């Protein structure tokens, strides 16, 4: 079966993190139910022409801030394939056993917890407000509900965060027994409070050191790196994210959601008010679209693949960056650990195999 994914965006939060540039709102909770109903209608209309859905990712925002039954009502409209991976992103502060049980009853089999750090002072610098103890309680609720697959999201690079504090976060995350960990470098996004305060911007060299610490600790715990920022036990890789990295097809539901279907990319209006109004009147929610030509698509495919352990054909890697890859007997070039630190430099220099856009990535 050819993979096909669905992404559902839930744009509501109680507070906005200082580094966040996503389409989220803290002042529109009164729109939760009408928004989810609009998403349900969108899903129902789309379902008539969708192939079987092999992965679903519910992101945000804070998806578990909205009523669980209403959120699951959207997913109930989708034609899920047998064994589909269904992930809901959650804030540990608002996880409950009742919520997790509702998710489980509607087919959710993977939870992604936004941990970011297990050190309170670091969370404060990031503009996060959850208590690390709530992470432990949330993991217990996930387990008690019988949801077996668990990802923990971590962020490194907050100003003032020491190597020891970062190591503590990684070690405590590992101790919770997740089958997947995502560790992202703090990124300065325009228009955020973080961007407005240069004194809080991360140091690239320090972030590189922390990446190496994470890789050592996670690999040592049996979680293998399969994409620059992602580690998992064998067989627990995130199918939905692999779909993105392999240029697969997916449909986005809700505001600001992106889709890729039949070579066409399109995205939805950004605000919940406009989305609800458009769905109520039968107006298109599409805000824009694009189509890549063959050469652009091949180059993009290479740039995505080099981030993963799939790698790229060796002849796509020019000599100037070959010291950052290892070339295996299968003729694939894969980033070394040092190469992962300079992945963008490698990606920008990749060339279509054979020097023509007809080469296969």
pTM for this prediction: 0.95
Specify whether the CB–CB gap between 218 and 229 falls below 8 A.
no
The Cα 264–Cα 259 span in angstroms is 8
For residue 110, the domain's CATH number is: 3.20.20.70
Q: Give residue 47's domain range.
A: 4-244
Instruction: Kindly give the confidence (pLDDT) of every residue in the chain, 361 residues in length, as a single tens digit, with 9 standing for 90 and above.
Output: 899 999 999 999 999 888 999 999 999 999 999 999 999 999 999 999 999 999 999 999 999 999 999 999 999 999 999 999 999 999 999 999 999 999 999 999 999 999 999 999 999 988 887 789 999 999 999 999 999 999 999 999 999 999 999 999 999 999 999 999 999 999 999 999 999 999 999 999 999 999 999 999 999 999 999 999 999 999 999 999 999 999 999 999 999 999 999 999 999 999 999 999 999 999 999 999 999 999 999 999 999 999 999 999 999 999 999 999 999 999 999 999 999 999 999 999 999 987 544 334 4
The answer on 225 and 333 residing in a single domain is no
Report the relative pairing of strands 149-156 and 312-313 from DSSP bridges: unpaired
Enumerate residues 6+ apart whose C-beta is below 8 A from 144: 97, 100
Residue 52 lies in a domain: yes
Say yes or no: 203 and 65 in one domain: yes
Q: What is the arrangement of strands in the sheet containing 149-156, beginning at the earlier edge strand?
A: 224-227, 230-232, 180-185, 149-156, 110-116, 80-90, 53-60, 4-10, 249-253, 258-261, 264-268, 286-291
137 within 8 A of 92, measured Cβ to Cβ: yes
Contact 257, 13 (CB under 8 A): no
Q: Alpha-carbon distance 74 to 231, whole Å? A: 30
**Coil, helix or strand for 264?**
strand
Domain count within the chain: 2
Q: What is the pLDDT of residue 104?
A: 98
Note the helical H segments in the chain.
32-47, 68-75, 97-105, 120-126, 132-144, 163-175, 204-220, 239-245, 272-281, 294-305, 337-341, 343-349
pLDDT digits (tens, 9 = 90+) for 200-238: 999 999 999 999 999 999 999 999 999 999 999 999 999
> Residue 113 belongs to what H/E stretch?
strand 110-116
Q: Which of 244, 261, 280 is the last residue of a domain?
A: 244
Report if residue 254 sits inside a domain: no
Task: Supply the Cα-derived Rg of the chain in whole angstroms.
Answer: 20
């Amino acid at each position: 079966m050819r993979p096909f994914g669905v992404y559902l965006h839930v744009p509501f939060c109680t507070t906005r993190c200082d580094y966040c540039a996503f389409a989220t709102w803290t002042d529109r909770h009164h729109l939760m139910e009408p928004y989810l109903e609009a998403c349900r209608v969108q899903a129902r209309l789309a379902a008539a022409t969708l192939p079987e859905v092999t992965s679903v990712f519910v992101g945000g925002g804070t998806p578990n801030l909205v009523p669980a039954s209403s959120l699951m009502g959207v997913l109930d409209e989708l034609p899920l394939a047998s064994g589909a991976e269904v992930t809901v992103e959650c804030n540990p502060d608002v996880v409950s056993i009742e919520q997790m049980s509702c998710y489980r009853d509607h087919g959710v089999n993977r939870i992604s917890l936004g941990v970011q750090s297990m050190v309170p002072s670091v969370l404060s610098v990031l503009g996060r407000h959850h208590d690390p103890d709530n992470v432990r309680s949330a993991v217990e609720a996930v387990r008690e509900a019988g949801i077996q697959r668990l990802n923990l999201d971590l962020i490194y690079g907050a100003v003032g965060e020491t190597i020891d504090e970062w190591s503590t976060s990684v070690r405590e995350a590992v101790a919770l027994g997740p089958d997947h960990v995502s560790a992202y470098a703090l990124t300065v996004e325009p228009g955020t409070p973080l961007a407005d305060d240069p004194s809080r911007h991360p140091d690239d060299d320090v972030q590189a050191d922390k990446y190496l610490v994470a890789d050592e600790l996670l690999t040592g715990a049996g979680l293998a790196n399969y994409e620059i920022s992602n580690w998992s036990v064998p067989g627990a890789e995130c199918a939905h994210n692999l779909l993105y990295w392999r240029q697969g097809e997916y449909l986005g539901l809700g505001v600001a959601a992106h889709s890729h279907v039949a070579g066409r990319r399109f995205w939805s209006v950004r605000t919940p008010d406009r989305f609800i109004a458009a769905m109520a009147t039968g107006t298109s929610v599409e805000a824009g679209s694009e189509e890549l030509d063959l050469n652009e698509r091949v180059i993009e495919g290479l740039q995505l693949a080099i981030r993963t352990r799939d790698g790229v054909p060796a002849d796509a890697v020019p000599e100037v960056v070959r010291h950052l890859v290892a070339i295996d007997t299968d003729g694939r070039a894969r980033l070394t650990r040092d190469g992962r630190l300079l992945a963008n430099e490698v990606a920008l220099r990749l060339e279509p195999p054979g020097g023509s856009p007809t080469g296969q990535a």
